[in-house]
Structure 1
Amino acid sequence: MIAAVLLVPTLAQAGGADGVWKTASDDRGGYLEVTIAPCGSDAARSCGTITRAFTKAGEDPGYAHLGKLIIKDMAPDGDGKLSGGSIWNPEDGKTYDSKLTVKGSTLEVDGCVMIFCKEQDWTRVK
């Protein structure tokens, strides 16, 4: 019983990022929708899957990476922050160490390889 009580706050912290997020648009006007939820292998961590893709002209149901994991194994750090996992960039095929920060309806996404970092703001889809 004590373990269940201790686990509830951890799951609640991870859940702050749960839901559907719209990535920042690329230079051609395209973007992705990513669904963040507890990871299948560890419900205390968050993972994100590409669930929809859009081009400037509209939805792209033939997008090659639909259903792929883009965010893996993010652990709650408190105050809407998650870290310790990684993010995959489908444009360059590279995987980056990542941190996520939920600020209302914005998700700040940071990805780094060594000292090179990129940041994007994603928007919660209603």
Structure 2
Amino acid sequence: MKRMFIAIAALVAVPAIAYAEDPIVGNWKTELGDTAAIAACGGGYCITLQSGKHAGKQIGTFRGKDGSYEGKITDPSANKTYDGSLTVSGNALKLKGCVMMVCESQTWPRL
């Protein structure tokens, strides 16, 4: 009985394994100076503007991991949605959106 108690106490004392968030999660500064929050949602990640003219609007949904993501990005001013990709390198997020054969990109720093 005493051995069982010690074994249970030892298991309880083991710290929980900490899992790091994916590098895309966090707040980013858009090229217009607004804050965009990226958080886990629906098995992927959503981008929601936190400040500026379109605050509260979700402008993107992406899937991926470890710094490389694919999905959809919306230009909130034109209200048009494009196929896009995101890559995270350190504290920089590079977005690329394409329609037909025309692509544009932006780089957002982490806040």
Q: Same fold (TM over 0.5)?
A: yes
Q: If the length of structure 1 is used for normalisation, what is the TM-score?
A: 0.68
Q: Over the residues paired in the alignment, what is the CA RMSD in angstroms?
A: 1.7
Q: Specify every segment of 5 or more residues in structure 1 that has no aligned partner in the other structure, as ranges.
A: 1-10, 26-30, 54-62
**Aligned equivalents of 2:22 and 2:46: distance in 1?**
11
* Aligned with residue 34 of structure 2, among 32, 35, 49: 32
> Rg: which structure is higher?
2
What stretches of structure 1 move > 2 A for 4+ residues in a row? none
State the identity as a percent.
39
**Aligned equivalents of 1:51 and 1:79: distance in 2?**
24
Q: 1:100, 1:109 within 8 Å by CA — same for their partners in 2?
A: yes
**Aligned equivalents of 1:22 and 1:98: distance in 2?**
18
Question: 1:93 — aligned with what?
Answer: 79
Deviations 1:76-116 (A, max 9, x none): 1x441011x11111122211101000000000000011111
Q: 2:26, 2:39 within 8 Å by CA — same for their partners in 1?
A: yes
**Aligned equivalents of 1:79 and 1:46: distance in 2?**
12
**Aligned equivalents of 1:49 and 1:101: distance in 2?**
17
Q: Specify every segment of 5 or more residues in structure 2 that has no aligned partner in the other structure, as ranges.
A: 1-18
Q: Does 1:80 align with 2:76?
A: no
